[in-house]
Structure 1
Amino acid sequence: MSELHRKLERSAVGFVVAIIFMASIGGLVEIAPLFTIDETVEDAPDMRVYTPLELAGRNIYIREGCYACHSQMIRTLQDEVERYGPYSLAVESQYDHPMLWGSKRTGPDLARLGGKYSDAWHVAHLINPRDVVPESVMPKYGWLQRNDLRIDDLGAHLSAMKAVGVPYSDEMIANATNDAFGQTLPDSDFAEGVSERYGEETNIREFDGDTSRVTEMDALVAYLQILGRLTDAAYQQAAGNQSSQDQQAQSQQAQSQPLGSTAK
């Protein structure tokens, strides 16, 4: 083997061919599953897209590097499911560009964070994490509440997402700025349009408590509050799996009963 290795290193052409061969194997392993993508991604008829405000919050989440310390992918391990909720499904990330599954958990996984805490909790946590979690090592992000959110270019952001497959309509793109404004001000004339375009269950409220303007804090909290809530597919599958397990357990219990006995 060592003699073959020396000959291969001395032959430039042979060495290049060997590199291409090994790289091809790795590429095939990564590419082959894409041909069965339609079979591996679950159906989610209730799946909705991010609102302009939530998409802006996601961009801030990426800009501030939050993904470096928080994952958004619950594994199928029992302890993870018990701690965070139903394990993540591929369909839940189909509108995420880029995907933010992550691999490092300095902080907890956020895949099921939506609705777990109040808006006020999130605002306090972002301003100074130690105020609500004393042992936290998370940096402060208080300036987000002082920064006005740029909303005049949100139509372009939606157009970019549409170009990569996110089903934003022309109406959504045309009303992106107004919808971002309306989602934070439920009493405004623009709030009704948000519900019409994104669904009645869309969160429409003053996320940071300031009704005078739309801030980056509004956007980030709006995004955090929708994590894991774009579709109920994971919860429906978890309920189906639990039902199957219960039926299997009952069947096994019935089979274990001696003939002629009655289960008590």
Structure 2
Amino acid sequence: MTQKTGAFTRVAGLLALAISILTSLVPTVTAAQTTPNPGYLVVVGKTTDRAKIASYAAELPAIYASLDGYYLAIGAPGRGVTWLEGPWTDRSLIFAKFPTRAGADAFWWGDAYRAAIRKRDNAGVFSVVAIEGAGPTPFEGAGSGFLIVMTGSTGKGPADQDASARAAASLIDGVKSSGGQLVNTPSIGQFTPMEGDTVFDRFVVAAWPSLAARDAYLASGDAAEAKHLRAMAGISAVAAVNGVPRNQAPTAVNPNPTGVAPK
């Protein structure tokens, strides 16, 4: 009986050891792995009726707050936005964040915003896209810097497509080497048009921990090479935008009385 008990104990010990080893080989699911990626809205706009926009903007804070949404950047040329490429030199730009991509849809298509948006009918022109983050927002808040790159190919030939792919690769390499990170996946078609027409097929957002780090990239040979390749590939619109404090937005107060249209 004692021998049987000893044998049983040894077998049980070996089984426990085997289970322990197998368990150690199974990847641990962390909170970071199960947290959904954030969703974003990129808005380019031009206001033509200030009174309507003011009435519309007054509706926004409660809608954003109900979905935990807020602005990462909001501004106009000379006020937090610098257009580096493209025709939109007079347009405001807004970069807004929601906890999930579904949250951006819930904001945009929700009854509250559908009612509010009617207040800006015929009050301006807007282009809006939604994108999904590639992970947690790498940098945000006052002092952070963003670069929003929109590109499209004017041709479907191999040379155009090759230049487009090389431009994206060059951008990615330059961002990483300058201490920045991509906010979203840079592949073609990784966005959803929400309003307005878009001639672009790729939207890429990059972030840096400081304006100085972003501007150092913009002054680099890497940035010049990416710009050259974008020109070879087709059309582009590129804007440098400055991060804002989370408590600045959403807001019904237009920080630029002549150009910014809150979204």
Q: Which structure features the higher share of strand residues?
A: 2
Shorter-chain TM-score tier: under 0.3
Give me the TM-score of the superposition, normalised by structure 1.
0.26
Q: Which structure features the higher share of helix residues?
A: 1
Q: Which structure exhibits the higher relative contact order, with contacts defined as CA atoms closer than 8 Å and separated by 6 or more residues?
A: 2
